[in-house]
Structure 1
Amino acid sequence: MDSKGPSLYAQAGPSLDLSRSLEEDSMVDGPLISADALHSAIRREFQTVPTPCHAGLLSLLHVVYVVLSVCLAVLCVLKFGQEEVCMNILGNVRGDSVILFGKVCLWVLVLLFTGCAQHHHNRARSRGYLRFYREMQGLKHLPLNVHSTGNVLLLVVLAAQLSLTVHIYMLLTILAVELLVALPCLLYYIVKVMQFNRERAAPDVSQEEHSHNFSISSLPTETGFREGSSLEEVVEKQADLIEYLKQHNTLLSKRLLNLTAQH
């Protein structure tokens, strides 16, 4: 019984290898998907970041608010010959109070823009654009930081209980400095995001694979630890890449099935 066992397996071995080779040949003989077709299919999945429109509208509102605040302060608070018009428009509300209420509304809009930008940048991060996400990480929060700092300075001016003229001039100075700092940040943000949308680049992993395929002496990727890198940064990048690669593999599987069905 035992002596026949090995001989049976030995006889069945070539037939098993033959059937396995036939199965592999049948898989190889199937329709092959070219790398260009896969790359073009994935490239069509590029989604633009729509925040430049929001940033442009916020910049316009900021400029309009500062201009109206200056007009309101000069005509209605400092009272340069337009008291009746101000009384008809504002009623019993003080002009500086209207400016402060407008500042609060503007800060809320900046906060909403920051949340919207964070949402869309997180989506870009999940699609594999890790380098773009890190480049814009501080820039998209900078307008909110500027306006929040301006709010703190306005509270200090209100708490100081200065004279009306000094109070208005200090208020307008803070608003002007905010505009001079926040507006260039928003414009630079618009330029960077529009450049990203116009390039329609492949995710970072695909770019690194492409550079490794065509360059022998390529630089090391961002996924490994190198001198000057912090451990937390490396772990964060690796976690981002793992999350993206999971979604990337799912997308590849779907595209492979669709392209195989077409062929």
Structure 2
Amino acid sequence: MESKAPALYTAGTSIDLTRSIDEDSLVDGPLISADALQSAIRREFQTVPTHCFAGVLSFLHVLYVGLSLCVAMLCVLKFGQEEMCVSVLGNVQGDSAIVFGKVSLWVLVLLFTWYVKHHHNRARRRGYLQFYRGMQGLKDLPFILHSTGNVLLLLILVAGLSQTVRIYMLLSVLVLELLVALSCLLWYTVKVMRFNRERAAPDVSQEDHLQNYSITSLPTETGFREGSNLEEVVEKQADLIEYLKQHNTLLSKRLLNLTAQH
């Protein structure tokens, strides 16, 4: 009985050694260096083109406010040039033309917001979760500001004020809205251009790089911890899982293409 135990132990040890040898044989061969992978990811980096449309929207907003000031002074307050107003606007009142222009600008802001969300979602699917979350509130601010401006304009129009007071209050709202919206769009443009210039790797690759090469690296914690936001953790994990699925699918396709070539 005593002689069987060492035999069994020896057999188990031999099995473990065989398994370890087989597993080691699977990873034999030339490995791609981390620098090569990082350079390949940077070559495949896709920029976020929304900053160009933010500049166009800013220009149109400035143009609209400038034209609204001219219409208000010349056609509503009637500081001369009344014949020109009639020839340009026809039977449309000056304040009505300003409101129509405001609605058209709001539609452009709505289209811009949809376009921005589309490209930000694409960046999130490519693994840039920090960029997506960092721009979450900023990308919606122009639409919120213009919607708030529309509400204020409606309140001014239905308040029953005199025409002079009404037009001055309307212009004050438009100018204030312009200053705040331009500041938001300018800051948004700066952040997007910085992101495009850095051409960074996805967040997962950056975390792996920091864990492998940081001198003062410490063990990282994964999952929910006391004091953290459970919804944020779950949402971030869902984003990571979605990105890793798409990344694995892309790598599988490339592997099949390389296999077919050889």
TM-score range, shorter chain: 0.7 to 0.9
Alpha-carbon separation, structure 2, partners of 1:223 and 1:160: 56
How far 1:191 moved relative to its partner? 0.2
Could you tell me which amino acid in structure 2 is paired with residue 37 of structure 1? A
Matched residue pairs, number?
Answer: 247
Alpha-carbon separation, structure 1, partners of 2:218 and 2:50: 32
2:210 matched to 1:211? yes
Could you tell me which amino acid in structure 2 is paired with residue 199 of structure 1? E
Q: Give deviations 1:73-128, integer Å, cap 9, x for gaps.
A: 00111001111111111111101100000000000000000000000000000000
Distance 1:205 1:141, change over 3 A: same
Aligned match of 1:126: 125
CA RMSD of aligned residues (A): 2.6
Could you tell me which amino acid in structure 1 is paired with residue 171 of structure 2? L
How far 1:70 moved relative to its partner? 0.3
Could you tell me which amino acid in structure 2 is paired with residue 108 of structure 1? V
2:171 matched to 1:162? no
Distance 1:31 1:230, change over 3 A: closer
Task: Give ranges in structure 2 of 5+ residues lacking alignment.
Answer: 1-10
Distance 1:219 1:255, change over 3 A: farther
Distance 1:220 1:68, change over 3 A: farther
Aligned match of 1:180: 179
Q: Give deviations 1:140-185, integer Å, cap 9, x for gaps.
A: 0001000100111111111112111011001101101100110000
Aligned match of 2:53: 54
Could you tell me which amino acid in structure 1 is paired with residue 187 of structure 2? Y
Q: Secondary structure at the residue paired with 1:160?
A: coil
Q: Is the 8 A contact 1:126 1:244 kept in 2?
A: yes
How far 1:242 moved relative to its partner? 0.6
Alignment of 1:5-20 (within 5 A): none
Distance 1:84 1:156, change over 3 A: same
> Under a length normalisation based on structure 1, what TM-score does the superposition of the two structures give?
0.85
2:62 matched to 1:63? yes
Aligned match of 1:153: 152
Q: Is the 8 A contact 1:52 1:194 kept in 2?
A: yes
Aligned match of 1:110: 109
Range 172-181 or range 249-258, more displaced: 249-258
How far 1:65 moved relative to its partner? 0.3
Alpha-carbon separation, structure 1, partners of 2:244 and 2:64: 45
Aligned match of 2:191: 192
Alpha-carbon separation, structure 2, partners of 1:149 and 1:219: 47
Aligned match of 1:87: 86
> Under a length normalisation based on structure 2, what TM-score does the superposition of the two structures give?
0.85
Identity %, equivalent residues: 77
Distance 1:190 1:222, change over 3 A: farther
Could you tell me which amino acid in structure 1 is paired with residue 108 of structure 2? L
Q: Secondary structure at the residue paired with 2:209?
A: helix
How far 1:218 moved relative to its partner? 3.5
Could you tell me which amino acid in structure 2 is paired with residue 155 of structure 1? L
Aligned match of 2:201: 202
How far 1:247 moved relative to its partner? 1.3
Distance 1:158 1:28, change over 3 A: closer
How far 1:223 moved relative to its partner? 5.2
Q: Secondary structure at the residue paired with 2:66?
A: helix
Q: Is the 8 A contact 1:154 1:174 kept in 2?
A: yes
How far 1:40 moved relative to its partner? 2.3
How far 1:260 moved relative to its partner? 6.9
Distance 1:183 1:257, change over 3 A: same
Alpha-carbon separation, structure 1, partners of 2:228 and 2:90: 61
How far 1:235 moved relative to its partner? 0.3
Alpha-carbon separation, structure 2, partners of 1:185 and 1:101: 24
